[in-house]
């Protein structure tokens, strides 16, 4: 008779009951499918995608008219004409600084404010998003968008100061996040859902989450310069603008939940936090791994005793194991999908394999928990840059004004100042680039009649040569010329009609043509061609005080992009459509003290 083996009592009743009751059809889903084995890799990628999305959101961009990074809606006069590049008024501090020599001697002051409202819509048709196709809306507001200009004119010289938001200028709220935020979360459905009629997975069919992101971006410009009149026909300008950049990010991704269904468990399709589910499953699979390790050790003892070709029933009949141990050995085999009469030597291999797979499953579930926990960000980025500015104003035939202004590129290095970062996306003191491009502005103004004045404006931005700090999906920085085919430009036409010496009405139209490629466009940062219509007027309260009122509306051309989203080894085509609309109202007061 073979001796009794005492060291093979390998699992306590609790763990055995877990295996027996949860087993057979469900507990080894992730051990038996490639999707399950790769789960930890997918949740890791999901987490990385979320971090990249958060870190890139609300990158600085123009809030209204202008280039990708540059605001040109810098006065109430602009808001009523969209063509001020040949301005000879006080707002020429920004638009045509060389023309300031045409002002009368003395002190001139202009105070302007605009209230701006922008809606940014992204429609995405990824099949696992809730409510596909899903529309994500970003609301951007800037109730205060100031423009302050001061000039002291003395004969042929004009000294000027300007203050305005030359980039950004508003705060954005994404109440439901963006596709970049949510698609990685929606991947939990195919990752944890039913694979086939015979492969239930974890039965997940839906997800919920609370995503909120708020941010602001403002690039304030402080400009000083000197204008000089060479002769009545030619004036020149030289100046510099200091640009201070301040981007703030506050965002949360919370309560990522799924609705698993697993027979004979508490999971019956109700929503549970994915983190809690992953933690519980990790604990469970750790217990499975420990139990099967014990079973493998016990089977090894029997094999060493020469019972490798026996079944457990035969080992029991031989007195090598007792009835409880026989039931546990055989139950573990059945739970692993093997017949109870599997030879002991073969069962040892089964137990060892299952133990290893269960350990991997525990690691995968730990990864799921780590990748779906709540995340919060509270950080700012600050930087400073300098913009040399040169200009010329030409007066031809006493009526025709031709103005030229050139702004050199502004290099801006942003530095993180991080309060809370549970994502790893904003390392404190880390640096990144967010330049403003070189810009050429040309304007022409001509009095068609004694009462009607027409003006043309042209702006050209060297986007390709700047560094906007744009990243690809892996977080690697991309050079502008790799994703921008042509530099952005815009044409504007403005008309002013003087009904009386005190009162005029004006209108304007602006067309902007972007040159970005499809590779540039993302839900976080996209550029669209547009048409802008403006209307307003000016009323001279007195010879020294003029009131400007204006309003404009910008209509953007939608753009779309199709890309492949990688889900495991599968590439799923996704189409994303980008749209945007803007409108603003503006008020300004021009004051002159002097002749």
**What pLDDT does 65 receive?**
59
pLDDT tens, 271-328?
A: 999 999 999 999 999 999 999 999 999 999 999 999 999 999 999 999 999 999 999 9
Mean pLDDT of the chain: 87
Reading phi first (left if > 0) and then psi (alpha if -120 to 50, else beta), residue 264 is in left
Nearest-CA neighbor of 443 among 391, 389, 402, 488?
Answer: 402
pLDDT tens, 106-135?
A: 999 999 999 999 999 999 999 999 887 889
Furthest-apart CA pair in the chain: how many Å?
124
Domain extent listing, the chain: 6-46+264-371, 47-259+372-594
What dihedral do alpha carbons 82, 84, 86, 90 form, nearest 10°? Answer: 170
Rounded to a whole number of angstroms, the CA Rg of the chain reads 34
**Residue 12, pLDDT above cutoff 90:** no
pTM of the model: 0.83
How many other β-carbons are positioned within 10 Å of the β-carbon of residue 194? 17
What dihedral do alpha carbons 229, 230, 232, 233 form, nearest 10°? Answer: -110
**What pLDDT does 273 receive?**
95
CA dist 65 and 79 (Å) reads 10
Q: What are phi and psi of 74, to 5 degrees?
A: -115, 20
Structural fold of domain 47-259+372-594: Porin (2.40.160)
**What pLDDT does 476 receive?**
78
Q: How confident is the model at residue 31 (pLDDT cuts 50, 70, 90)?
A: very low
**What pLDDT does 474 receive?**
67
Q: How confident is the model at residue 28 (pLDDT cuts 50, 70, 90)?
A: very low
Q: How confident is the model at residue 61 (pLDDT cuts 50, 70, 90)?
A: low
How many other β-carbons are positioned within 10 Å of the β-carbon of residue 200? 16
- The residue with tokens 């040309």 is 442
Question: Rounded to a whole number, what is the distance in angstroms from the first to the last CA of the chain?
Answer: 124
β-partners of residue 258 are: 207, 272
Q: What value does the mean pLDDT take over residues 235-245?
A: 97
pLDDT tens, 419-461?
A: 998 877 788 888 888 899 999 999 999 999 999 999 999 999 9
CA dist 68 and 61 (Å) reads 6
CA dist 136 and 130 (Å) reads 11
Q: What value does the mean pLDDT take over residues 177-203?
A: 85
**What pLDDT does 524 receive?**
80
User: CB of 253 within 8 A of CB of 417?
Assistant: no
Nearest-CA neighbor of 210 among 130, 266, 126?
Answer: 130
């Amino acid at each position: 008779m073979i001796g009794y083996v005492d060291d093979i009592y390998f699992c306590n009743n609790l763990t055995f009951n877990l295996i027996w009751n949860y087993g057979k059809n469900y507990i080894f889903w992730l051990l038996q499918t490639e999707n399950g084995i790769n789960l930890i890799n997918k949740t890791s990628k999901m987490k990385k995608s979320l971090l990249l999305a958060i870190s890139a959101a609300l990158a600085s961009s123009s809030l209204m008219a202008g280039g990708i990074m540059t605001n040109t809606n810098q006065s109430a006069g602009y808001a009523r004409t969209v063509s001020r590049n040949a301005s000879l008024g006080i707002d020429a501090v920004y638009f045509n600084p060389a023309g300031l020599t045409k002002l009368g001697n003395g002190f001139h002051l202009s105070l302007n404010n605009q209230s701006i409202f922008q809606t940014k819509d992204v429609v995405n048709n990824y099949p696992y998003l809730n409510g596909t196709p899903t529309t994500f809306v970003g609301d951007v507001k800037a109730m205060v968008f100031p423009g302050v200009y001061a000039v002291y004119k003395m004969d042929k010289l004009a000294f000027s100061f300007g203050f305005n938001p030359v980039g950004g200028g508003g705060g954005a709220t994404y109440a439901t996040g963006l596709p970049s935020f949510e698609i990685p979360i929606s991947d939990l459905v195919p990752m944890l859902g039913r694979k086939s009629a015979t492969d239930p997975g974890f039965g997940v069919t839906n997800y919920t989450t609370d995503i909120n992101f708020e941010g602001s971006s403002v690039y304030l410009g402080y400009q000083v310069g000197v204008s000089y009149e060479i002769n009545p026909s030619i004036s020149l300008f030289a100046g510099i603008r200091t640009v201070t950049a301040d981007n703030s990010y506050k965002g949360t991704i919370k309560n990522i939940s799924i609705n698993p269904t697993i027979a004979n468990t508490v999971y019956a399709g109700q929503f549970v936090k994915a983190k809690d589910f992953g933690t519980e499953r990790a604990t469970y699979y750790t217990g499975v791994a420990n139990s099967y390790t014990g079973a493998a050790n016990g089977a090894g003892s029997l094999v060493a005793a020469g019972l490798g070709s026996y079944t457990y029933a035969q080992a029991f009949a031989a007195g090598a194991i007792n009835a409880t141990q026989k039931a546990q050995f055989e139950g573990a085999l059945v739970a692993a999908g093997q017949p109870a009469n599997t030879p002991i030597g073969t069962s040892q291999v089964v137990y060892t394999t299952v133990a290893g797979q269960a350990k991997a499953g525990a690691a995968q579930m730990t990864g799921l928990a780590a990748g779906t926990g709540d995340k919060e960000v509270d950080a700012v980025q600050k930087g400073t840059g300098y913009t040399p500015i040169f200009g010329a104003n030409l007066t031809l035939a006493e009526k025709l004004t031709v103005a030229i202004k050139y702004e050199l590129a502004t290099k801006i290095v942003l530095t993180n100042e991080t309060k809370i970062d549970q994502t790893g996306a904003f390392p404190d003191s880390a640096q990144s680039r967010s330049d403003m491009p070189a810009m050429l502005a040309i304007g022409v103004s001509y009095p068609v009649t004694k009462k009607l004045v027409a003006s043309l404006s042209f702006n050209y931005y060297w986007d390709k040569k700047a560094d906007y700090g744009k990243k690809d999906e892996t977080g690697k920085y991309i050079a502008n010329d790799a994703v921008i085919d042509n530099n952005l430009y815009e044409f504007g036409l403005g008309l002013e009609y003087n009904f009386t010496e005190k009162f005029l009405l004006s209108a304007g139209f602006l067309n902007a043509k972007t040159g970005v490629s499809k590779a540039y466009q993302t839900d976080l940062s996209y550029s669209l061609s547009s048409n802008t219509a403006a209307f307003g007027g000016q009323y001279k309260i007195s010879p020294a005080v003029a009131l400007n009122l204006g309003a404009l509306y910008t209509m953007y051309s939608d753009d779309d992009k199709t890309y492949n989203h990688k889900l495991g080894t599968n590439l799923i085509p996704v189409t994303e459509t980008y749209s945007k609309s803007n409108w603003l109202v503006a008020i300004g007061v021009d004051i002159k003290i002097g002749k």
